[in-house]
A and B are shown apart, each in its own frame.
Chain A
Amino acid sequence: MGGGIVQVAAQQGLDVLLWDISDDMLERSLDRIRGSVQRSVERGRLSQEEADAAMARIQTTTQFAEFGDVDAVIEAVLESIDTKSSVFRNLDESCPEHAILASNTSSLSITEIGAFTQRSDRVVGMHFFNPVPAMALVEVIQGHATTDETMDRAVALGRELGKTPVRCQDTPGFVVNRIARPFYNEGLRVLNDGVASMEEIDRIMRGVGFRMGPFQLMDLIGNDVNLAVTSLIFEQLYDEPRFRPSFRQKRAVQSGRLGQKTKQGWYPYE
Chain B
Amino acid sequence: MSESRDSLGQTAVFIESARDLELAEALTSAGSAVRRIDLRGDLSTAETREALSDARMVVDMTAIDHDAKRAAVSAFNSYAPSTASLVSFALTVSTTEIASWSTSPERVVGFGFLPPLADVKVLEVAPGLQTGEPARAAAQALAVALGKESALVSDGAGLVSARILAPIINEAAFSLMEGVATAQDIDTAVRLGVNYPHGPLEWADLIGVDLVYSIIRALHAEQGDDRYRPCPLLRKMVLAGWTGRAAGRGFFPYPR
**Which A residues lie at the B interface, using CB under 8 A?**
129, 135-137, 139, 164, 166-169, 171, 174-176, 178-183, 186-187, 189-190, 193-196, 200-201, 203-211, 214, 241-242, 244
Contacts of A195 in B (CB 8 A): 153-154, 156, 159-160, 163
Q: How many Å lie between the Cα of A29 and that of B198 in the bound state? A: 36
Minimum distance in angstroms from A219 CB to a CB of chain B: 15
Give the contact stretch, choosing among B56-64, B65-73, B128-136, B173-181. B173-181
Given contacts A205-B161, A208-B165, A209-B119, 19 further A-B contacts (CB under 8 A): A166-B185, A166-B189, A167-B185, A169-B179, A169-B181, A171-B178, A176-B189, A179-B171, A186-B163, A186-B164, A189-B163, A200-B151, A200-B152, A203-B122, A207-B120, A207-B149, A210-B197, A211-B195, A241-B227
Contacts of A166 in B (CB 8 A): 181, 185-186, 188-189
Minimum distance in angstroms from A171 CB to a CB of chain B: 5
- Partner pick for B160 among A129, A168, A204, CB 8 A cutoff: A204
Contacts of B200 in A (CB 8 A): 179
Q: Is the CB of B189 within 8 A of A168?
A: yes
A selection of 28 A-B contacts at a CB cut-off of 8 Å is: A129-B193, A135-B192, A136-B192, A166-B188, A167-B185, A168-B189, A171-B180, A175-B189, A179-B175, A179-B200, A182-B168, A183-B194, A187-B164, A196-B153, A204-B122, A204-B153, A205-B164, A206-B121, A207-B121, A208-B121, A208-B165, A241-B225, A241-B226, A241-B227, A242-B170, A242-B226, A242-B227, A242-B229
Decide: A196 near B154, CB < 8 A? Known: A166-B185, A169-B181. yes
Task: Using CB atoms, name the residue of chain B closest to A194.
Answer: B154
| Residue B147 lies at the interface, judged by CB distance under 8 Å to chain A | no
Decide: A168 near B185, CB < 8 A? Known: A176-B193, A178-B171, A204-B124. yes
